[in-house]
């Protein structure tokens, strides 16, 4: 539940509300605003009635959150969450969508990663992504270069100024990964790995959470809730396609509708991943545009210096020349969309 205090509520009034909730084993978060103090309470609502809380001195209103994803819900927070990095890059809200590009796996050829990083920088991208620890369907497939790959990402970041993203598969690797990268990613296969969600919830890095292979939107948001409940509210959702009955033409079904749905019910930023969403190189550009048009806060795209010889996901990776051509068109579209959005906001204001 959400308890909104009167502007005139004293510190003693607020403490009394917190004490009553704590006595009934609620987890309590106090948000001090310029006018109102808002108290978020998470626990068993059957243990105490909203009427009991509203009767306490200084309480203006008690609101019951109906969605099970409480921290991620717009019922709790109407304004969009904006995640800001030290270099000024922002994800979410009215900010220009970000681009996260790079190879599926960081390979032994650093020069190849460097080429991709400089191409990304040239085309105005903000993030370099690459796998160091790779979850693979087959145990015989390439599993990643681990710390060596992390060092390569760090080196490329230092040369270009790009922020970095990589996936964590095991909480035992989390501390090591956080030493090297700016954003930690939870992959689709681990969306409901609750111990891992709890671990990244306790780390200080922003987290990209990818939608599970067959998960509903509600399950997706509840996975984010696990991270937020454990203390990390800097969660970026990622729509990367879901399994369906037709895998002849696409790897997955890119659920574009999930982006505006999540925008309606959650304040968290969401990005699109058309590489995994389709598994087809020729579909990356149209699905990138589609994701941006429906409101995605960014796009994650696989780019490789030599896709034909990539150790993983070469079929859905863009070669650098194709990536540059695509980004020229996408950047033009993003500038137009950003202009339209700003004009709309100005007219509303």
Residues 59 and 91 in one domain: no
Same structural domain, 184 and 55: no
Q: Show the domain range for 25.
A: 2-63
Q: Say whether both 160 and 280 belong to one domain.
A: yes
Helix ranges restricted to H, the chain: 11-23, 50-54, 110-122, 147-160, 174-180, 194-201, 217-229, 258-265, 274-278, 281-293, 320-348
Residue 77: inside a domain? no
CATH code of the domain in which 342 resides: 3.20.20.70
Q: pLDDT truncated to tens, each residue of the chain (349 aa)? A: 899 999 999 999 999 999 999 999 998 999 988 889 999 998 877 788 889 999 999 999 998 876 778 899 998 899 999 999 999 999 999 999 999 999 999 999 899 999 999 999 999 999 999 999 977 777 777 777 899 999 999 999 999 999 999 999 999 999 999 999 999 999 999 999 999 999 999 999 999 999 999 999 999 999 999 999 999 999 999 999 999 887 778 989 999 999 999 999 999 999 999 999 999 999 999 999 999 999 999 999 999 999 999 998 999 999 999 999 999 999 999 888 876 666 655 554 4
Q: Cα–Cα distance between 175 and 296 in angstroms, integer?
A: 30
Residues 57 and 159 in one domain: no
Q: How many domains does the chain have?
A: 2
- Do 232 and 202 meet the contact criterion of CB atoms below 8 Å apart? yes
């Amino acid at each position: 539940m959400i308890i909104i205090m009167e502007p005139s509520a004293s510190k003693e009034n607020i403490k009394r509300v917190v004490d009553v909730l704590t006595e009934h084993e609620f987890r309590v978060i106090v948000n001090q605003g310029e006018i109102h103090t808002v108290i978020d309470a998470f626990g068993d609502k059957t243990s105490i009635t909203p009427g009991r809380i509203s009767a306490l001195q200084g309480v203006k209103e008690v609101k019951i959150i109906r969605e099970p994803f409480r921290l991620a819900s717009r019922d709790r927070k109407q304004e969009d969450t904006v995640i800001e990095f030290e270099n000024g890059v922002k994800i979410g809200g009215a900010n220009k969508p970000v681009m996260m590009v790079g190879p599926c796996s960081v390979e032994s050829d650093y020069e190849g990663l460097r080429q991709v990083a400089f191409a990304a920088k040239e085309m105005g991208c903000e993030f370099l992504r690459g796998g160091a620890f790779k979850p693979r369907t087959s145990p015989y497939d390439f599993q990643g270069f681990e710390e060596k790959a992390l060092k390569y990402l760090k080196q490329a970041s230092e040369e270009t100024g790009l922020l970095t993203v990589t996936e964590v598969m095991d909480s035992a690797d989390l501390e090591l990964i956080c030493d090297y990268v700016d954003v930690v990613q939870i992959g689709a296969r681990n969306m409901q790995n609750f111990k891992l969600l709890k671990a990244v919830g306790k780390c200080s890095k922003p987290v990209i959470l990818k939608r599970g292979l067959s998960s509903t939107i509600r399950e997706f948001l509840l996975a984010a809730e696990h991270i937020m409940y454990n203390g990390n509210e800097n969660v970026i959702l990622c729509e990367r396609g879901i399994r369906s009955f037709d895998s002849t033409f696409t790897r997955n079904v890119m659920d574009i509708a999930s982006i505006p749905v999540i925008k309606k019910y959650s304040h968290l930023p969401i990005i699109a991943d058309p590489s995994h969403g389709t598994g087809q190189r020729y579909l990356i550009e149209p699905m990138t545009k589609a994701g941006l048009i429906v409101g995605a806060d960014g796009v994650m795209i696989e780019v490789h210096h030599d896709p034909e010889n990539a150790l993983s996901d070469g079929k859905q990776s863009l070669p650098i020349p194709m990536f540059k051509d695509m980004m020229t068109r996408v950047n033009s579209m993003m500038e137009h969309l950003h202009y339209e959005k700003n004009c709309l906001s100005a007219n509303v204001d």
